[in-house]
Chains A and B, each alone.
Chain A
Amino acid sequence: MTMAKTLYEKVWQAHIVDQLGDDSLIYIDRHLIHEVTSPQAFAGLNEKGRKVRRPDKTVGTMDHSISTRSLAIDACGPENALQLNTLAKNCEEHGIQLYPVGHQKQGIVHVMGPELGLIQPGMTVVCGDSHTATHGAFGALAFGIGTSQVEHVLATQTLKQTRAKSMLIKVNGTLPVGITAKDIILAIIGKIGHAGATGYVIEYAGQAIRDLTMEERMTVCNMSIEAGAKAGLIAPDETTFSYIKDREYAPKGADWDAALAYWKTLYTDTDAQFDTVVELQAKDIAPQVTWGTNPGQVIGVKDAVPGPDDFNDPIEKESAKKALAYMGLEAGEKLSDIAVNHVFIGSCTNGRIEDLRAAAHIAQQGKVPSGVTAIVVPGSGNVKRQAESEGLDKIFLDAGFEWRLPGCSMCLGMNDDKLVAGDRCASTSNRNFEGRQGRGARTHLVSPAMAAAAAITGRFADVRDFQE
Chain B
Amino acid sequence: MADSTQGFTTHSGIAAPLDQANVDTDQIIPKQFLTGVTRSGYGKHLLHDWRYLDLEEKVPNPEFALNKPEHKGATILLARENFGCGSSREHAPWALADFGFKTIIATSFADIFYGNCINNQLVPVALNSQQMDALFDAVKHNPAEEITVDLEAQTVSCGALRFEFDIAAHHKNNLIKGLDAIGQTLELANAIEAFEAKHASWQ
Contact = CB atoms under 8 A, between A and B. Distances in A.
A25 B26 contact: no
Given A151-B1, A251-B202, 6 more contacts: A27-B195, A29-B203, A152-B181, A158-B185, A228-B82, A436-B26
11 contacts: A20-B170, A22-B168, A44-B1, A79-B35, A147-B90, A149-B115, A194-B82, A258-B202, A413-B31, A414-B34, A414-B35
Interface string A176-201: 00000000000000000011001100
A248 to B, nearest CB: 13
Contacts of B134: none
Interface string A239-274: 000000000000100010011001000000000000
B168 A162 contact: yes
- 7 closest cross-chain pairs (CB), A and B: A148-B119, A146-B116, A39-B37, A146-B90, A79-B35, A251-B202, A144-B88
Interface stretch (B58-66, B67-75, B106-114, B139-147): B106-114
A195 to B, nearest CB: 4
Contacts of A151: 1, 182
Contact of B108 (A43, A144, A198, A434): A198
A194 B86 CA distance: 10
Contacts of B80: 315
B11 interface: no
Interface in A135-190: 143-149, 151-152, 155-158, 160, 162
A408 B27 CA distance: 19
Contacts of A29: 203
Given A152-B1, A199-B111, A83 B22 contact: no
Nearest to A23: B170
B82 A195 contact: yes
Interface of B: 1-2, 20-22, 24, 26-27, 30-32, 34-39, 49, 55, 80-82, 85-90, 93, 108, 110-112, 115-116, 119-120, 168-170, 181-182, 185-186, 188, 191-192, 195-196, 199-203
Contacts of A195: 22, 81-82, 85, 108, 110
Given A22-B169, A22-B170, A198-B111, A255 B85 contact: no
Nearest to A18: B191
A433 interface: yes
Interface string A430-462: 010111100100000000000000000000000
B172 to A, nearest CB: 11
Contacts of B27: 433-435
Interface stretch (A123-131, A336-344, A360-368, A369-377): A123-131
Given A29-B203, A412-B26, A148 B49 contact: no
A212 to B, nearest CB: 25
A40 interface: yes
Contacts of A162: 168
Contacts of A143: 112
Given A158-B192, A315-B21, A122 B203 contact: yes
Interface in A344-369: none
A48, A83, A228 — which one has the most chain B CB atoms within 10 A of its CB?
A228
Nearest to A79: B35
B88 A146 contact: yes
Contact of B1 (A37, A79, A148): A148
Nearest to B92: A146
B49 A434 contact: yes
Given A37-B88, A86-B37, A156 B186 contact: yes
Given A123-B203, A194-B85, A318-B21, A80 B35 contact: yes
A17 B110 contact: no
B35 A65 contact: yes
